[in-house]
Amino acid sequence: MWAALILLWICVCLVLVQLRTRRPNKFPPGPRPLPFFGNLLEFSVLNPLNDLQRMSDKYGKIFSVFIGSRPAVFLHGVEAIKEALVTKGVDFAGRPQGLMVNDITQGRGVILVDYGSSWRDHRRFALMTLRNFGLGKQSMEERIYGELSYVIAELDQSVGKSMSPQTMFHNAASNIICTVLFGARYEYNDEALKIFIKLYTENAKITNGPWAMVYDTFPMVRSWPLPFQRAFENAAIAQKMSMDLINHHKKTRIPGQPRDFIDCYLDEMDKRGEDGSTFVEPQLMMYILDLHFAGTDTTSNTLLTAFLYLSTHPDIQEKCYQEIEEVLEDKDQACFEDRHRMPYTQAVVHESQRIANTVPLSVFHCTTKDTELLGYHIPKGTLIVPNLGSAMREEGQWKFPHEFNPSNFLNEQGEFEKPEAFMPFSVGPRVCLGEGLARMELFLIMVTLLRRFKFAWPEDAGDPDFTPVFGVTLTPKPYSMTVTLRRTE
């Protein structure tokens, strides 16, 4: 009797689970999900990108998988991504809630906040503040060159030797955004800088790794002492460091005379008051962590990829150097506007971004209402994953989609040309708000370093491994390069 009831109960549960994991009418196709697991077992725990390509080959440019009982729609290729994020940008501008990354950020910040008036206010504020602190102006170039002097000093000490650039590029990218957010930079041996970068690097891997899949698929295990708890511990440390910076600013600021982003936000809080305003300290705490992480991890990993490929492609590096010398002549340093006179170098910078594919799956979106996409019905609240990497290596969109070749960005006349499939910062309403700063950093850093130094793959290092490590951001495996001085002035 009891055995029969238990068996009946199990059968009912399985039927209910199966019903929950059925695809709605006119929903994108995909593999059959398993009860409880969904399609979790279809993916490699180390890097699911090849699995996504396999699914796209089988089911098309728009397909669906289940994360537990929750359906997710993947967008593959330029047409699907642009139709969703640009043509129907508002319909797809939401952010999914209830995932591990949402719980870590507590629904605050700017990157993962859902689409609405609070997000619009904070994005508008960030863009305005970044402009006021020099984005796109000479003053931002000065900030970048100020940090570059420390990078050059470190490379000068490595001339004639082999060195690993990983920590150096993370430190430099972090400090550039720090000068905007906090009004100060850290010495490269400063413990606070080391801790910030360690926390960001670890969480970038955890939140897009196998344990995050477990967290998102099985809500019942979220309180268990499993490895994903490390991400929450890291976040708590970073949040305390962020609040310490805010409290220091509150004690030292002069209202109306902002020194940096934090001061500007505190001024905005004073102006808006406390009556229903979304400009509050907990939001500021996560906001600066969002901007600091985004401004550190993406730029540094792109630079690491660029110099990995440049050190193994000496012909491309030499052609860059010749163009830089020809354009700059007797100028001490480049300015951002010089990029228009350096088509080949511009192409190399952009090709480095394309091949780096730093944020391969973008930041997840969700639909803000019931909508249609290329013949499919997508209900409100559906998790949307744009595979940006698929567009940046799509056959037919690039001359050389699977190799590092600046010709992907040059027309027949040798002029710089940017294909529409180039979307490292995403596209549409949720396009990365730090795009302008990142583009300036990449150009000025690469031009300055290639003009002064020559980088080569060490003779005793064996064959280079170009396979990246998967996470929220892709990062090259640790490597070393030899440094030779080209010019001393």
Amino acid at 158: S
Q: Which domains does the chain have, with CATH numbers?
A: 91-357+392-485 (1.10.630.10)
Question: Nearest-CA neighbor of 147 among 196, 192, 200, 185?
Answer: 185
Torsional class of 116: left (φ above 0), alpha (ψ -120 to 50), beta (otherwise): left
- Between these two residues, 37 and 390, which has the higher pLDDT value? 390
Question: What token pair was written down for 99?
Answer: 């995932």
Kindly report, residue by residue over 11-56, the tens digit of the pLDDT. Answer: 333 333 444 457 888 999 999 999 888 998 888 877 888 999 999 9
Residue 412: its pLDDT value, please? 94
Residue 487: its pLDDT value, please? 67
Amino acid at 151: V
Sheet holding 162-163, edge to edge: 162-163, 481-485, 453-456
- Between these two residues, 21 and 332, which has the higher pLDDT value? 332
Kindly report, residue by residue over 188-247, the tens digit of the pLDDT. Answer: 999 999 999 999 989 988 887 778 888 988 889 999 999 999 999 999 999 999 999 999
Kindly report, residue by residue over 53-106, the tens digit of the pLDDT. Answer: 999 999 999 999 998 889 999 999 999 999 999 999 999 999 998 889 889 988
Going by pLDDT thresholds of 50, 70 and 90, the confidence category of residue 138 is low
Q: pTM of this prediction?
A: 0.91
d(CA 401, CA 253): 51
How many Cα atoms are found within 13 Å in the side-chain-facing hemisphere of 15?
A: 6
Residue 168 has pLDDT above 90, yes or no: yes
Kindly report, residue by residue over 341-351, the tens digit of the pLDDT. Answer: 999 999 999 99
Question: Nearest-CA neighbor of 434 among 304, 336, 292?
Answer: 292
Cβ contact 234:199 at 8 Å: yes
